[in-house]
Amino acid sequence: MKLGIVGLPNVGKSTLFNAITNAGAESANYPFCTIDPNVGMVSVPDERLDKLTEMYHPPKTIPAVVEFVDIAGLVRGASKGEGLGNKFLSHIREVDAIVHVVRCFENENIVHVEGSIDPERDIETINLELILSDMELLERRIERSKKLAKGDKKYNEEIEVFERLHAHLEQGKTARTFPEFEEYQELISTVDLLSSKPVIYAANVDENGFTGDEAENRRLEAVRRIAEAEGSMVLPICAQMEQDIATLEDDEKELFLSELGLEESGLDRLIRVCYDLLGLMSFLTAGPKEVRAWTIKKGTRAPQAAGKIHTDFERGFIRAEVISYDDLMACGSMVAAKEKGLVRLEGKDYVMRDGDIVVFRFNV
Protein backbone atom coordinates (compact mmCIF):
# COMPACT_ATOMS: atom_id res chain seq x y z
CA MET A 1 0.00 0.00 0.00
CA LYS A 2 1.36 3.36 -1.02
CA LEU A 3 0.12 6.59 0.56
CA GLY A 4 0.96 10.11 -0.55
CA ILE A 5 1.26 12.93 1.99
CA VAL A 6 0.07 16.23 0.53
CA GLY A 7 -0.80 19.65 1.91
CA LEU A 8 0.16 23.30 1.65
CA PRO A 9 3.60 24.44 2.85
CA ASN A 10 4.12 24.77 6.63
CA VAL A 11 1.21 22.60 7.67
CA GLY A 12 3.37 19.84 9.19
CA LYS A 13 3.96 17.42 6.32
CA SER A 14 7.70 17.01 6.89
CA THR A 15 7.13 16.68 10.61
CA LEU A 16 4.68 13.85 10.02
CA PHE A 17 6.98 12.32 7.44
CA ASN A 18 9.91 12.45 9.89
CA ALA A 19 7.77 10.64 12.43
CA ILE A 20 7.14 7.98 9.81
CA THR A 21 10.77 7.51 8.83
CA ASN A 22 11.85 7.49 12.49
CA ALA A 23 9.24 4.87 13.31
CA GLY A 24 10.50 2.90 10.32
CA ALA A 25 14.12 3.16 11.40
CA GLU A 26 13.16 1.89 14.86
CA SER A 27 11.49 -1.29 13.72
CA ALA A 28 13.77 -4.24 13.20
CA ASN A 29 13.59 -6.93 10.52
CA TYR A 30 13.13 -4.78 7.53
CA PRO A 31 12.58 -6.72 4.35
CA PHE A 32 14.02 -3.85 2.35
CA CYS A 33 15.25 -0.38 2.92
CA THR A 34 15.02 2.61 0.73
CA ILE A 35 17.40 5.25 -0.48
CA ASP A 36 14.76 7.66 -1.72
CA PRO A 37 14.54 10.46 0.88
CA ASN A 38 10.91 11.09 0.00
CA VAL A 39 9.80 7.56 0.68
CA GLY A 40 9.31 6.14 4.17
CA MET A 41 8.25 2.67 5.24
CA VAL A 42 6.40 1.77 8.40
CA SER A 43 5.34 -1.63 9.56
CA VAL A 44 1.68 -2.32 10.15
CA PRO A 45 1.20 -2.88 13.88
CA ASP A 46 -0.13 -6.40 14.40
CA GLU A 47 0.09 -8.07 17.78
CA ARG A 48 -0.77 -11.43 16.22
CA LEU A 49 2.74 -11.42 14.74
CA ASP A 50 4.22 -11.02 18.21
CA LYS A 51 2.22 -13.95 19.56
CA LEU A 52 3.14 -16.17 16.62
CA THR A 53 6.78 -15.22 17.07
CA GLU A 54 6.54 -16.37 20.70
CA MET A 55 5.09 -19.64 19.45
CA TYR A 56 7.61 -20.41 16.68
CA HIS A 57 10.74 -18.47 17.67
CA PRO A 58 11.70 -17.90 14.03
CA PRO A 59 14.87 -15.99 13.14
CA LYS A 60 12.74 -13.58 11.10
CA THR A 61 9.43 -11.82 11.70
CA ILE A 62 8.28 -9.67 8.83
CA PRO A 63 5.36 -7.28 9.27
CA ALA A 64 3.25 -5.92 6.44
CA VAL A 65 4.54 -2.49 5.45
CA VAL A 66 2.98 0.73 4.27
CA GLU A 67 4.90 3.05 2.01
CA PHE A 68 4.52 6.78 2.56
CA VAL A 69 5.59 9.28 -0.08
CA ASP A 70 6.20 12.87 0.91
CA ILE A 71 4.70 14.91 -1.90
CA ALA A 72 5.79 18.39 -0.89
CA GLY A 73 5.55 21.41 -3.12
CA LEU A 74 1.87 21.53 -3.84
CA VAL A 75 0.86 25.18 -3.85
CA ARG A 76 -1.89 27.35 -5.29
CA GLY A 77 -1.40 27.32 -9.07
CA ALA A 78 0.39 23.93 -9.16
CA SER A 79 -1.86 22.67 -11.96
CA LYS A 80 -0.70 25.64 -14.03
CA GLY A 81 2.93 24.83 -13.30
CA GLU A 82 3.45 27.07 -10.24
CA GLY A 83 6.17 25.86 -7.91
CA LEU A 84 7.17 22.45 -9.12
CA GLY A 85 3.55 22.05 -10.08
CA ASN A 86 2.90 19.25 -12.47
CA LYS A 87 5.82 17.16 -11.33
CA PHE A 88 4.22 16.86 -7.90
CA LEU A 89 0.82 16.18 -9.32
CA SER A 90 2.26 13.24 -11.24
CA HIS A 91 3.59 11.74 -7.97
CA ILE A 92 0.05 11.72 -6.64
CA ARG A 93 -1.00 9.56 -9.58
CA GLU A 94 1.10 6.69 -8.24
CA VAL A 95 -0.43 6.39 -4.77
CA ASP A 96 -3.37 4.30 -3.55
CA ALA A 97 -4.69 7.00 -1.23
CA ILE A 98 -3.93 10.55 -0.23
CA VAL A 99 -3.15 11.70 3.30
CA HIS A 100 -4.03 15.37 3.17
CA VAL A 101 -2.38 17.23 6.07
CA VAL A 102 -4.41 20.24 7.15
CA ARG A 103 -3.08 22.78 9.59
CA CYS A 104 -5.32 23.32 12.59
CA PHE A 105 -2.60 24.34 15.06
CA GLU A 106 -1.88 27.99 15.78
CA ASN A 107 1.67 29.30 16.05
CA GLU A 108 2.56 32.90 15.38
CA ASN A 109 6.15 31.96 14.64
CA ILE A 110 5.25 29.64 11.83
CA VAL A 111 3.79 31.61 8.97
CA HIS A 112 0.98 30.23 6.92
CA VAL A 113 1.39 30.75 3.17
CA GLU A 114 -2.08 32.28 3.02
CA GLY A 115 -1.57 34.47 6.08
CA SER A 116 -4.09 32.82 8.40
CA ILE A 117 -5.17 29.43 9.71
CA ASP A 118 -8.22 28.33 7.77
CA PRO A 119 -8.56 24.60 7.07
CA GLU A 120 -11.59 25.01 4.86
CA ARG A 121 -9.77 27.34 2.48
CA ASP A 122 -6.64 25.15 2.55
CA ILE A 123 -8.57 22.03 1.65
CA GLU A 124 -10.31 23.86 -1.17
CA THR A 125 -6.99 25.20 -2.45
CA ILE A 126 -5.39 21.78 -2.70
CA ASN A 127 -8.51 20.07 -4.01
CA LEU A 128 -8.89 22.74 -6.66
CA GLU A 129 -5.39 22.06 -7.99
CA LEU A 130 -6.22 18.38 -8.29
CA ILE A 131 -9.54 19.18 -9.91
CA LEU A 132 -7.99 21.57 -12.46
CA SER A 133 -5.40 18.99 -13.40
CA ASP A 134 -8.16 16.37 -13.74
CA MET A 135 -10.23 18.66 -15.97
CA GLU A 136 -7.33 19.01 -18.38
CA LEU A 137 -6.83 15.27 -18.48
CA LEU A 138 -10.52 14.67 -18.99
CA GLU A 139 -10.71 17.23 -21.80
CA ARG A 140 -7.95 15.40 -23.66
CA ARG A 141 -9.74 12.11 -23.15
CA ILE A 142 -13.05 13.52 -24.41
CA GLU A 143 -11.25 14.84 -27.54
CA ARG A 144 -9.83 11.40 -28.19
CA SER A 145 -13.14 9.63 -27.62
CA LYS A 146 -14.86 12.05 -30.01
CA LYS A 147 -12.41 11.13 -32.75
CA LEU A 148 -12.94 7.45 -32.10
CA ALA A 149 -16.73 7.91 -32.01
CA LYS A 150 -16.67 8.88 -35.67
CA GLY A 151 -15.76 5.32 -36.53
CA ASP A 152 -17.49 3.55 -33.68
CA LYS A 153 -20.67 4.68 -31.97
CA LYS A 154 -19.90 2.77 -28.78
CA TYR A 155 -17.77 5.71 -27.65
CA ASN A 156 -20.81 7.98 -27.45
CA GLU A 157 -21.86 6.71 -24.04
CA GLU A 158 -18.46 7.29 -22.49
CA ILE A 159 -18.33 10.79 -23.97
CA GLU A 160 -21.64 11.57 -22.26
CA VAL A 161 -20.42 10.23 -18.90
CA PHE A 162 -17.14 12.13 -19.17
CA GLU A 163 -18.95 15.33 -20.07
CA ARG A 164 -21.21 15.02 -17.04
CA LEU A 165 -18.14 14.35 -14.90
CA HIS A 166 -16.39 17.36 -16.40
CA ALA A 167 -19.37 19.58 -15.54
CA HIS A 168 -19.19 18.24 -11.98
CA LEU A 169 -15.47 19.08 -11.70
CA GLU A 170 -16.16 22.49 -13.17
CA GLN A 171 -18.19 23.29 -10.06
CA GLY A 172 -15.06 22.77 -7.98
CA LYS A 173 -16.12 19.32 -6.81
CA THR A 174 -13.83 16.30 -6.65
CA ALA A 175 -14.32 13.29 -8.93
CA ARG A 176 -14.88 11.04 -5.89
CA THR A 177 -18.09 12.98 -5.12
CA PHE A 178 -19.49 12.55 -8.66
CA PRO A 179 -22.96 11.04 -8.11
CA GLU A 180 -22.38 8.45 -10.84
CA PHE A 181 -18.89 7.57 -9.61
CA GLU A 182 -19.74 4.06 -8.42
CA GLU A 183 -21.87 3.23 -11.41
CA TYR A 184 -19.07 4.12 -13.85
CA GLN A 185 -16.11 3.38 -11.61
CA GLU A 186 -14.48 1.05 -14.13
CA LEU A 187 -14.70 3.58 -16.94
CA ILE A 188 -13.62 6.52 -14.77
CA SER A 189 -10.64 4.56 -13.46
CA THR A 190 -9.26 4.45 -17.03
CA VAL A 191 -8.57 8.19 -16.81
CA ASP A 192 -6.49 8.07 -13.61
CA LEU A 193 -7.94 11.18 -12.01
CA LEU A 194 -6.22 12.63 -8.95
CA SER A 195 -9.39 13.80 -7.28
CA SER A 196 -10.88 10.31 -7.49
CA LYS A 197 -8.37 8.90 -4.99
CA PRO A 198 -9.58 8.13 -1.50
CA VAL A 199 -8.52 10.78 1.03
CA ILE A 200 -7.82 10.91 4.73
CA TYR A 201 -7.65 14.38 6.18
CA ALA A 202 -4.93 14.45 8.84
CA ALA A 203 -6.00 17.44 10.94
CA ASN A 204 -2.74 18.60 12.47
CA VAL A 205 -3.67 19.87 15.91
CA ASP A 206 -1.57 21.47 18.61
CA GLU A 207 0.33 19.47 21.25
CA ASN A 208 -2.50 20.06 23.67
CA GLY A 209 -4.98 19.87 20.81
CA PHE A 210 -6.68 16.76 22.06
CA THR A 211 -8.05 18.75 24.96
CA GLY A 212 -8.39 21.56 22.45
CA ASP A 213 -9.05 25.27 22.69
CA GLU A 214 -12.20 26.63 21.21
CA ALA A 215 -10.72 28.06 18.02
CA GLU A 216 -8.94 24.84 17.24
CA ASN A 217 -12.04 22.77 17.90
CA ARG A 218 -13.90 24.96 15.46
CA ARG A 219 -11.23 24.33 12.85
CA LEU A 220 -11.35 20.60 13.49
CA GLU A 221 -15.13 20.71 13.10
CA ALA A 222 -14.70 22.45 9.73
CA VAL A 223 -12.47 19.62 8.52
CA ARG A 224 -14.99 17.07 9.78
CA ARG A 225 -17.84 18.79 7.94
CA ILE A 226 -15.96 18.76 4.63
CA ALA A 227 -14.89 15.17 5.05
CA GLU A 228 -18.38 14.02 5.91
CA ALA A 229 -19.89 15.78 2.90
CA GLU A 230 -17.55 13.93 0.54
CA GLY A 231 -17.38 10.62 2.42
CA SER A 232 -13.72 10.99 3.41
CA MET A 233 -12.16 10.27 6.78
CA VAL A 234 -10.63 12.63 9.34
CA LEU A 235 -7.84 11.80 11.70
CA PRO A 236 -6.85 14.40 14.29
CA ILE A 237 -3.12 14.05 14.78
CA CYS A 238 -0.34 16.11 16.34
CA ALA A 239 2.58 15.76 13.96
CA GLN A 240 4.98 17.31 16.45
CA MET A 241 4.08 14.79 19.10
CA GLU A 242 4.23 11.89 16.65
CA GLN A 243 7.75 12.91 15.79
CA ASP A 244 8.70 12.67 19.49
CA ILE A 245 6.87 9.38 20.01
CA ALA A 246 8.54 7.81 17.00
CA THR A 247 11.97 8.05 18.59
CA LEU A 248 10.91 6.23 21.78
CA GLU A 249 11.52 2.57 22.55
CA ASP A 250 8.40 0.39 22.64
CA ASP A 251 7.98 0.36 26.44
CA GLU A 252 8.65 4.09 26.76
CA LYS A 253 6.15 4.69 24.00
CA GLU A 254 3.47 2.70 25.80
CA LEU A 255 4.08 4.62 29.01
CA PHE A 256 4.01 7.98 27.23
CA LEU A 257 0.75 7.16 25.47
CA SER A 258 -0.94 5.78 28.58
CA GLU A 259 -0.10 8.98 30.45
CA LEU A 260 -2.04 10.80 27.75
CA GLY A 261 -4.87 8.28 28.00
CA LEU A 262 -4.19 6.99 24.48
CA GLU A 263 -3.99 3.36 23.40
CA GLU A 264 -2.00 3.81 20.25
CA SER A 265 0.04 6.46 18.47
CA GLY A 266 -1.50 8.67 15.81
CA LEU A 267 0.69 6.97 13.25
CA ASP A 268 -0.67 3.54 14.17
CA ARG A 269 -4.18 4.94 13.96
CA LEU A 270 -3.41 6.44 10.57
CA ILE A 271 -2.30 3.06 9.24
CA ARG A 272 -5.39 1.37 10.63
CA VAL A 273 -7.68 3.98 9.08
CA CYS A 274 -5.94 3.56 5.70
CA TYR A 275 -6.43 -0.20 5.85
CA ASP A 276 -10.14 0.32 6.45
CA LEU A 277 -10.42 2.97 3.80
CA LEU A 278 -8.81 0.81 1.15
CA GLY A 279 -10.60 -2.36 2.24
CA LEU A 280 -7.39 -4.19 3.11
CA MET A 281 -6.68 -7.02 5.51
CA SER A 282 -3.81 -9.34 6.40
CA PHE A 283 -3.27 -13.05 6.24
CA LEU A 284 -0.34 -14.70 7.96
CA THR A 285 2.26 -17.35 7.30
CA ALA A 286 3.98 -18.89 10.29
CA GLY A 287 6.65 -21.48 10.87
CA PRO A 288 10.03 -22.04 12.47
CA LYS A 289 11.79 -20.16 9.65
CA GLU A 290 9.63 -17.07 9.39
CA VAL A 291 6.49 -15.42 10.67
CA ARG A 292 5.04 -12.94 8.25
CA ALA A 293 1.99 -10.79 7.51
CA TRP A 294 0.75 -10.20 3.95
CA THR A 295 -1.61 -7.48 2.81
CA ILE A 296 -4.52 -8.29 0.52
CA LYS A 297 -7.83 -6.72 -0.43
CA LYS A 298 -10.90 -8.03 1.36
CA GLY A 299 -12.60 -10.57 -0.87
CA THR A 300 -9.34 -11.97 -2.30
CA ARG A 301 -9.49 -15.70 -3.08
CA ALA A 302 -6.87 -18.22 -1.99
CA PRO A 303 -4.94 -18.52 -5.30
CA GLN A 304 -4.55 -14.74 -5.63
CA ALA A 305 -3.46 -14.51 -1.99
CA ALA A 306 -0.88 -17.22 -2.74
CA GLY A 307 0.23 -15.10 -5.70
CA LYS A 308 1.21 -12.35 -3.26
CA ILE A 309 3.92 -14.67 -1.96
CA HIS A 310 5.04 -15.92 -5.36
CA THR A 311 3.50 -16.00 -8.83
CA ASP A 312 4.31 -19.75 -9.01
CA PHE A 313 2.10 -20.31 -5.96
CA GLU A 314 -0.84 -18.84 -7.84
CA ARG A 315 -0.15 -20.58 -11.14
CA GLY A 316 0.31 -24.00 -9.59
CA PHE A 317 -2.22 -23.58 -6.78
CA ILE A 318 -3.62 -26.88 -5.48
CA ARG A 319 -5.12 -25.99 -2.12
CA ALA A 320 -4.64 -23.97 1.03
CA GLU A 321 -4.35 -25.36 4.53
CA VAL A 322 -5.98 -22.77 6.71
CA ILE A 323 -6.49 -22.16 10.38
CA SER A 324 -7.80 -19.00 11.96
CA TYR A 325 -5.44 -17.17 14.28
CA ASP A 326 -7.92 -17.45 17.17
CA ASP A 327 -8.26 -21.23 16.75
CA LEU A 328 -4.51 -21.69 16.72
CA MET A 329 -4.07 -19.58 19.84
CA ALA A 330 -6.88 -21.44 21.62
CA CYS A 331 -5.18 -24.79 20.85
CA GLY A 332 -1.71 -23.61 21.78
CA SER A 333 0.05 -25.37 18.89
CA MET A 334 -0.45 -26.47 15.29
CA VAL A 335 -0.22 -30.13 16.30
CA ALA A 336 -3.05 -29.74 18.81
CA ALA A 337 -5.08 -27.77 16.27
CA LYS A 338 -4.66 -30.54 13.66
CA GLU A 339 -5.74 -33.16 16.18
CA LYS A 340 -8.92 -31.20 16.80
CA GLY A 341 -9.54 -30.97 13.07
CA LEU A 342 -9.32 -27.18 13.02
CA VAL A 343 -6.94 -26.98 10.07
CA ARG A 344 -9.18 -26.78 7.02
CA LEU A 345 -8.37 -27.71 3.43
CA GLU A 346 -9.64 -24.97 1.14
CA GLY A 347 -9.83 -24.85 -2.66
CA LYS A 348 -9.44 -22.16 -5.29
CA ASP A 349 -12.79 -20.50 -4.51
CA TYR A 350 -12.01 -19.91 -0.86
CA VAL A 351 -12.31 -16.24 0.13
CA MET A 352 -9.52 -15.35 2.55
CA ARG A 353 -10.36 -14.01 6.01
CA ASP A 354 -8.44 -11.56 8.13
CA GLY A 355 -6.01 -13.44 10.37
CA ASP A 356 -6.02 -16.69 8.41
CA ILE A 357 -2.79 -18.59 8.94
CA VAL A 358 -2.04 -20.42 5.72
CA VAL A 359 0.16 -23.01 4.09
CA PHE A 360 -0.29 -23.11 0.32
CA ARG A 361 0.18 -26.34 -1.60
CA PHE A 362 1.10 -25.96 -5.25
CA ASN A 363 2.57 -27.72 -8.30
CA VAL A 364 5.80 -26.40 -9.70
Specify whether the CB–CB gap between 313 and 82 falls below 8 A.
no
Q: Is 247 in the site for ligand GDP (CB under 6 A)?
A: no
- The three-state secondary structure class of 349 is coil
CA 342 to chain centre: 34
Q: Applying CB under 6 A, which of residues 4, 6, 7, 233 lies at the interface with ligand GDP?
A: 7
Residues 127, 148: Cα–Cα separation, whole Å? 31
How many CB atoms within 10 Å of residue 353?
12
Ligand-binding annotation for 12, yes or no, is yes
Q: Is 107 in the site for ligand GDP (CB under 6 A)?
A: yes
Specify whether the CB–CB gap between 21 and 40 falls below 8 A.
yes
Q: Is 178 in the site for ligand GDP (CB under 6 A)?
A: no
How many CB atoms within 10 Å of residue 99?
26
Ligand-binding annotation for 14, yes or no, is yes
| Closer Cβ to ligand GDP, 117 or 296, answer by number | 117
Residues 149, 34: Cα–Cα separation, whole Å? 46
| Closer Cβ to ligand GDP, 13 or 219, answer by number | 13
Ligand-binding annotation for 77, yes or no, is no
Single out the segment in contact with ligand GDP by CB under 6 A; choices: 176-184, 204-212, 213-221, 278-286: 204-212
Q: Applying CB under 6 A, which of residues 3, 13, 319, 352 lies at the interface with ligand GDP?
A: 13
Single out the segment in contact with ligand GDP by CB under 6 A; choices: 28-36, 105-113, 215-223, 342-350: 105-113
Q: Is 232 in the site for ligand GDP (CB under 6 A)?
A: no
Residues 137, 181: Cα–Cα separation, whole Å? 17
Q: Is 240 in the site for ligand GDP (CB under 6 A)?
A: yes
Q: Is 351 in the site for ligand GDP (CB under 6 A)?
A: no
Order of strands across the sheet that contains 280-286: 60-62, 290-297, 280-286, 356-362, 317-324, 344-346
Site for ligand GDP in 51-80 (CB under 6 A): 72
Q: Is 345 in the site for ligand GDP (CB under 6 A)?
A: no
Ligand-binding annotation for 11, yes or no, is yes
Specify whether the CB–CB gap between 12 and 101 falls below 8 A.
yes
Q: Is 111 in the site for ligand GDP (CB under 6 A)?
A: no
CA angle (226, 231, 233) in 5-degree steps: 75
| Closer Cβ to ligand GDP, 51 or 224, answer by number | 224
**DSSP 8-state secondary structure symbol assigned to residue 20:** H
Binding region for ligand GDP (CB under 6 A)? 7, 9-15, 72, 105, 107, 110, 204, 206-207, 238-240
